[in-house]
Amino acid sequence: MSFYHLKRPVLLGGLFILLITGILLSLYLNASPTEDLPVYNPTDLDPSLVDASLLDKNKNHTVADFKLVNQNGETITQEDYKDKIYIADFIFTRCLSICPVMTNNMAQLQEEFKTEQDIAFLSMSVTPEIDSVSVLRAYADRHGAIDRKWNITTGNKKHIYSLARKSYFAALDEGDGGLQDFIHTTNFVLIDKKKQIRGIYNGTDDTEIQRLIRDIRVLQN
């Protein structure tokens, strides 16, 4: 048998291996992320963000039940977020500093996941006595909020502040939601379908928004 006849199958076999390797590498690089995200409990977070009554809790933390009113005057509860991944933040409509950036970024996230039914958004006003339903309706319209996908809400101030400090850990643990109490935070909080915290992000930072998008994709997979 000639050297030519020996060499040709070897070359073909080598090319076949290279081709398969290239295909597998391409599939790997383009695959959806499969890593898991941590589940955050109070002991995993900055203690200054955690209510003193929860500082020792190291497992099974979930967002407490809530009752809020959205831009359409509808009552919003946990049932509206059942089987959904959602992002929560705390804003107020008269804010001229961080809130416009946060709300624009929330609108960007809404656009990214516009057609995906398992992704939703929840904004809570930290000045609910000022942010009435009509004010929130105008605010929602200005920012393109899609009804039933993005609820921009008002409600009882003490209830909202308790949610911020004892459920979402989005703000420093000080105050009780009284008249002089005021929360101002850049945090976006990622909640999974089991009402667990899976990430906290700076809602004014473009790099953090991209990280949040990636983490939502991780949860979806």
Report the alpha-carbon distance of residue 164 to residue 64 in Å, rounded: 10
| Tally of domains within the chain | 2
The pLDDT value recorded for residue 18 is 52
Same domain, residue pair 1 and 110: no
The pLDDT value recorded for residue 16 is 52
User: Is 184 labeled as ligand-binding?
Assistant: yes
- Whether residue 186 contacts residue 169, with contact meaning beta carbons closer than 8 Å, is answered with no
Give the model confidence (pLDDT) of 12-31 as tens digits: 455 555 555 555 444 444 44
CATH number assigned to the domain comprising residue 76 = 3.40.30.10
User: Is 5 labeled as ligand-binding?
Assistant: no
The pLDDT value recorded for residue 215 is 98
Task: Give the helix/strand (H/E) hosting 14.
Answer: helix 3-30
Q: Is residue 37 part of a domain?
A: no
The pLDDT value recorded for residue 9 is 52
What is the reported pTM? 0.82
User: What one-letter code names the amino acid at 77?
Assistant: T
Q: Is residue 36 part of a domain?
A: no
Provide the domain limits for residue 61: 42-220
Give the model confidence (pLDDT) of 141-168 as tens digits: 999 999 999 999 999 999 999 999 999 9
Regions of the chain short of the pLDDT cut 50: 3-4, 6, 10-12, 24-34
- Inter-axis angle of helices 98-112 and 206-220, nearest 10: 40
Same domain, residue pair 10 and 52: no
Phi/psi at 8 (5° precision):
-60, -50
Same domain, residue pair 23 and 55: no
Same domain, residue pair 8 and 103: no
